[in-house]
């Protein structure tokens, strides 16, 4: 193990170009609970973009079991980390991901009541990550986690940047779930990377290799669930509708792959990725400010989002 010192963010890593705190500062654990029994729209919960609903349901199906894997991986890594600030960040990401996993496992039960293979897909994901938690060595645990977190961070920014197109007219519970999740994925988006650099920084090739491995894993798991879901929703009975859904799937996955290019550059840090270092996402900025003042965010309808955004621009 390299036991490199924690790469302390410099001033440019702490502030965006707009002068606001960098979105990867102040990792806050928010123990939110979402009432999936209150969903009125069914599993295709976004009228703004039905394809997005199905895509993100499919992608999210295996996510809680990766999050449990992350908790195990970084829990073990924390014992080997000597930098106190990084240890603090690791504790924060473990806290956030524990609440993510709890909510998404509950949502998977909801999906299983609508999709015939939902329970089977959930069980497959559970088995895969549970077995790998036991058999992967520490380098693989942390490397896979850092690679996977590359894409949860990027997906977070893609979703937040497409709020108007994908989430404006959507179920209040699901809108709240995904905004919360993506804000926090961005907040802790550098932690697994920095844990890997601290422990195995001299093995940069392995980190980059894990980025490719995890992208292929996310693609395969999401595609399998997506095909089942659009089939269940009757998309294949209308070829143009199926093509539109498939086009959406590949456009988002391609976008994630393209945005991952900086990850392979020398001196890369998630804190300096253009998506977070060159501007602030207004939804994330407003949501953090609103929630930080005690605002209720477990259900977000149009009126609540207007309130959130108004506070985001208030002095």
The angle, 0 to 180 degrees and rounded to 10, between the axes of the packed helices 239-259 and 204-232 is 170
Q: What is the dihedral of CA 140, 251, 55, 45, to 10 degrees?
A: 140
Range 116-123 average pLDDT? 96
| pLDDT score at 279 | 77
Instruction: Give the per-residue pLDDT at 49.
Output: 97
pLDDT band at 141 (very low <50, low <70, confident <90, very high): very high
Q: Quick: pLDDT tens for 265-305.
A: 988 999 999 888 777 899 999 999 999 999 999 999 999 99
Cα end-to-end distance, the chain, whole Å: 47
- Whole-number Å distance between alpha carbons of 92 and 107: 23
Beta partners for 170? Answer: 46
Which tokens belong to 99?
């609440």
Which value, to the nearest 10 degrees, does the dihedral of the CA atoms of residues 216, 185, 287, 107 take?
A: 70
Flag whether pLDDT at 154 surpasses 80.
yes
pLDDT for position 12: 46
Q: Is the pLDDT of residue 242 over 70?
A: yes
Domain extent listing, the chain? 46-267, 280-315
Contact 215, 260 (CB under 8 A): yes
Query: What pTM was computed for the model?
Result: 0.92
> Collapsing DSSP states into helix, strand and coil, what is residue 15?
strand
Q: pLDDT tens-digit profile of 57-83?
A: 999 999 999 999 999 999 999 999 999
Predicted local confidence at residue 17, as pLDDT = 47
Tell me the β-bridge partners of 46: 170
pLDDT in tens, 6-33: 444 544 454 444 567 788 888 999 999 9
Question: Which one, of 221, 253, 27, lies nearest residue 127 by Cα?
Answer: 221
CA neighbor of 49 nearest in space, from 157, 159, 127? 159
pLDDT at 112: 96
């Amino acid at each position: 193990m390299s036991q490199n010192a924690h790469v302390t963010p410099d001033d440019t890593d702490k502030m965006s170009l707009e002068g606001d705190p960098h979105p990867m500062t102040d990792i806050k654990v928010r123990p939110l609970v979402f009432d999936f029994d209150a969903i009125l729209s069914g599993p295709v919960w976004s009228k703004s973009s039905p394809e997005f609903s199905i895509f993100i349901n499919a992608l999210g199906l295996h996510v809680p079991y990766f999050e449990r894997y992350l908790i195990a991986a970084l829990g073990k890594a924390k014992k080997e980390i000597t930098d106190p600030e990084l240890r603090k960040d690791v504790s924060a990401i473990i806290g956030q991901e524990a609440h993510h996993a709890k909510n998404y496992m509950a949502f998977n039960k909801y999906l299983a009541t609508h999709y015939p293979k939902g329970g089977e897909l959930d069980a497959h994901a559970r088995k895969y990550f549970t077995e790998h938690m036991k058999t992967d060595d520490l380098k693989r645990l942390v490397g896979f986690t850092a690679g996977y977190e590359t894409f949860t961070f990027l997906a977070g920014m893609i979703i937040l940047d497409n709020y108007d197109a994908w989430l404006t007219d959507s179920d209040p519970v699901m809108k709240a779930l995904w905004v919360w999740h993506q804000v926090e994925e961005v907040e802790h988006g550098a932690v697994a990377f920095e844990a890997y650099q601290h422990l195995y920084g001299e093995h940069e090739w392995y980190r980059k290799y894990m980025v490719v491995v995890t992208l292929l894993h996310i693609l395969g798991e999401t595609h399998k669930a997506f095909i089942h879901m659009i089939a269940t929703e009757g998309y294949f009975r209308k070829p143009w509708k199926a093509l539109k859904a498939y086009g959406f799937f590949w456009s988002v996955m391609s976008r994630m792959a393209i945005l991952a290019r900086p990850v392979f550059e020398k001196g890369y840090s998630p804190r300096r990725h253009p998506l977070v270092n060159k501007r602030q996402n207004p939804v994330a900025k407003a949501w953090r400010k609103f929630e930080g003042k005690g605002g209720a965010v477990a259900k977000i309808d149009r009126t609540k989002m207007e309130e959130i955004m108004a506070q985001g621009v208030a002095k």
